[in-house]
Structure 1
Amino acid sequence: MSDEAQPIEKAPAVPRPPARRGPGGGGPFGGAGMPAEKSKAFGPSAKRLIGRLRPERMLIVVVTLLAVVSVTLSVLGPKMLGNATNVIFAGILSKQFPTGTTQAQAIAGLDAAGQSQQADLLKSVTFTPGQGIDFTQLGMILLVVLAIYVFSSVFSWMQSYLLNGVVQRTVYRLREDVEEKINRLPLGYFDRMPRGELLSRVTNDIDNISQSLQQSLSQIMTSLLTVIGVITMMFIISPLLALIALVTIPLTLVITTVVARRSQKLFVAQWTHTGTLNAQIEESYTGHALVKVFGRHREINEVFRQKNDELFTASFGAQFVSGIIMPAMMFVGNLVYVAIAVVGGLMVASGSLSLGDVQAFIQYSRQFTQPLTQLGSMANVLQSGVASAERVFELLDADDQSPDPSPAATPADDEGRLVFENVSFSYSPDKPLIENLSLTALPGQTVAIVGPTGAGKTTLVNLIMRFYELDGGRITLDGTDISTMTRDDLRSRTGMVLQDTWLFGGTIHDNIAYGNPSATEEEILAAAQATYVDRFVHSLPDGYDTVLNDEADNVSAGEKQLITIARAFLAKPSVLILDEATSSVDTRTEVLVQRAMSALRADRTSFVIAHRLSTIRDAHLILVMESGHIVEQGTHESLLAAGGAYANLYNAQFAAAITD
Structure 2
Amino acid sequence: MSVIGVEGEDREHLSKEERRHLRRRSFALLRSLLHPVRGTVALTAAVVVISSAAQVAGPALIAYGIDAGLPALLRNDWLPLGLAVGAYIATGVLGAVLIAWYTVLTARVSQAILIDLRRRIFLHTQKLSLEFHENYTSGRIIARQTSDLDAIKELLNSGLNQLVQGGLYMLFVGVAMFIVDWVSGLVLLASIVPLAVLTRWFQLKSERLFRRTRVASARLIVQFVETMTGIRAVKAFRKERRNDDEFAEQVEEYRSANAKVIGAFGTYEPGLILIGNLALAAVLLIGGFRVVDGSLAIGVLLAALLYTRNFYAPAEDMAMFYNSYQSASAALEKISGVLEELPGVPDPADPEPLGHPAGHLEFDSVTFAYTPARVVLPQFSLDIPAGQTIALVGTTGAGKSTLAKLISRFYDPSEGAVRLDGVDLRRLKPDDLRRAIVMVTQEAYLFSGSVADNIALGKPGASMEEITDAAKAVGAHDFIVALPDGYDTDVNKRGGRVSSGQRQLLSFARAFLADPAVLILDEATASLDIPSERLVQRGLQTLLADRTAIIIAHRLSTVAIADRVLVMEHGRIVEDGAPDDLIAGDGRFARLHSAWRDSLV
**TM surpasses 0.5:** yes
The amino acid across from 1:56 in the alignment is: V
1:67 lines up with 2:48 in the alignment: yes
CA shift at 1:406, angstroms? 4.5
CA shift at 1:599, angstroms? 0.5
Q: Write the distance in 2 (CA, Å) between the matches of 1:512 and 1:419.
A: 30
Deviation string 1:327-349 (CA, Å, 9 cap, x unpaired) is 22122111112222222233333
Alpha carbons of structure 1 residues 354 and 46: separation in structure 2 relative to 1, 3 Å: farther
Please tell me whether the aligned partners of residues 348 and 354 of structure 1 are also in contact (alpha carbons under 8 angstroms).
yes
Q: Write the distance in 1 (CA, Å) between the matches of 2:132 and 2:522.
A: 22
- 2:397 is paired with a residue of what secondary structure? coil
Please tell me whether the aligned partners of residues 513 and 570 of structure 1 are also in contact (alpha carbons under 8 angstroms).
yes
Superposed, 1:21-36 pairs within 5 Å as none
CA shift at 1:548, angstroms? 2.3
CA shift at 1:397, angstroms? 1.7
Please tell me whether the aligned partners of residues 425 and 433 of structure 2 are also in contact (alpha carbons under 8 angstroms).
yes
1:623 lines up with 2:558 in the alignment: no
The amino acid across from 2:58 in the alignment is: G
Alpha carbons of structure 1 residues 231 and 268: separation in structure 2 relative to 1, 3 Å: closer
CA shift at 1:550, angstroms? 7.4
Alpha carbons of structure 1 residues 483 and 49: separation in structure 2 relative to 1, 3 Å: closer
1:264 lines up with 2:212 in the alignment: no
Please tell me whether the aligned partners of residues 415 and 603 of structure 1 are also in contact (alpha carbons under 8 angstroms).
no
Q: Percent identity?
A: 34
1:301 is matched with which residue? Answer: 244
2:463 is matched with which residue? Answer: 520
CA shift at 1:489, angstroms? 1.0
2:513 is matched with which residue? Answer: 570
1:7 is matched with which residue? Answer: none
TM-score by length of 2: 0.91
2:3 is matched with which residue? Answer: none
CA shift at 1:369, angstroms? 1.0
2:58 is matched with which residue? Answer: 77
Q: Write the distance in 2 (CA, Å) between the matches of 1:272 and 1:225.
A: 33
Deviation string 1:91-139 (CA, Å, 9 cap, x unpaired) is xxxxxxxxxxxxxxxxxxxxxxxxxxxxxxxxxxx3576x57x667645
Alpha carbons of structure 1 residues 387 and 128: separation in structure 2 relative to 1, 3 Å: closer
1:389 lines up with 2:369 in the alignment: no
Which residues of structure 1 form unaligned runs of 5+?
1-33, 91-125
The amino acid across from 2:292 in the alignment is: A
Deviation string 1:148-174 (CA, Å, 9 cap, x unpaired) is 111111111112211222222223333
Please tell me whether the aligned partners of residues 114 and 149 of structure 2 are also in contact (alpha carbons under 8 angstroms).
yes
- 1:454 is paired with a residue of what secondary structure? coil
1:192 is matched with which residue? Answer: 135
Please tell me whether the aligned partners of residues 326 and 377 of structure 1 are also in contact (alpha carbons under 8 angstroms).
no
1:363 is matched with which residue? Answer: 306
- 1:448 is paired with a residue of what secondary structure? strand
1:239 lines up with 2:187 in the alignment: no
CA shift at 1:312, angstroms? 1.5
Please tell me whether the aligned partners of residues 345 and 411 of structure 2 are also in contact (alpha carbons under 8 angstroms).
no
2:96 is matched with which residue? Answer: 153
Deviation string 1:516-570 (CA, Å, 9 cap, x unpaired) is 1132222112112222332112222222111222799722222211111111111
CA shift at 1:625, angstroms? 1.4
2:435 is matched with which residue? Answer: 492
2:191 is matched with which residue? Answer: 248
- 1:432 is paired with a residue of what secondary structure? strand
Deviation string 1:576-613 (CA, Å, 9 cap, x unpaired) is 11112222222222211111111011101111111111
The amino acid across from 2:471 in the alignment is: A
Deviation string 1:433-487 (CA, Å, 9 cap, x unpaired) is 1122222222332111112221111110110011111122222222323222223
* Aligned pairs, number: 587
RMSD of aligned Cα (Å): 2.7
- 2:370 is paired with a residue of what secondary structure? coil
Q: Write the distance in 2 (CA, Å) between the matches of 1:292 and 1:482.
A: 43
The amino acid across from 1:44 in the alignment is: R
CA shift at 1:221, angstroms? 1.9
Superposed, 1:99-498 pairs within 5 Å as 126-127=71-72, 131=75, 138-411=81-354, 413-498=356-441
1:95 is matched with which residue? Answer: none
Q: Write the distance in 2 (CA, Å) between the matches of 1:406 and 1:367.
A: 59
Q: Write the distance in 1 (CA, Å) between the matches of 2:432 and 2:221.
A: 39
Alpha carbons of structure 1 residues 323 and 51: separation in structure 2 relative to 1, 3 Å: farther
1:94 is matched with which residue? Answer: none
TM-score by length of 1: 0.83
Q: Write the distance in 2 (CA, Å) between the matches of 1:235 and 1:406.
A: 62
Larger radius of gyration: 1
CA shift at 1:317, angstroms? 1.1
1:590 is matched with which residue? Answer: 533
The amino acid across from 2:46 in the alignment is: L
Which residues of structure 2 form unaligned runs of 5+?
1-7
Q: Write the distance in 2 (CA, Å) between the matches of 1:560 and 1:187.
A: 22
Deviation string 1:237-280 (CA, Å, 9 cap, x unpaired) is 11111111122322121111112223333334333333333333
Superposed, 1:524-563 pairs within 5 Å as 524-549=467-492, 554-563=497-506
1:51 is matched with which residue? Answer: 31
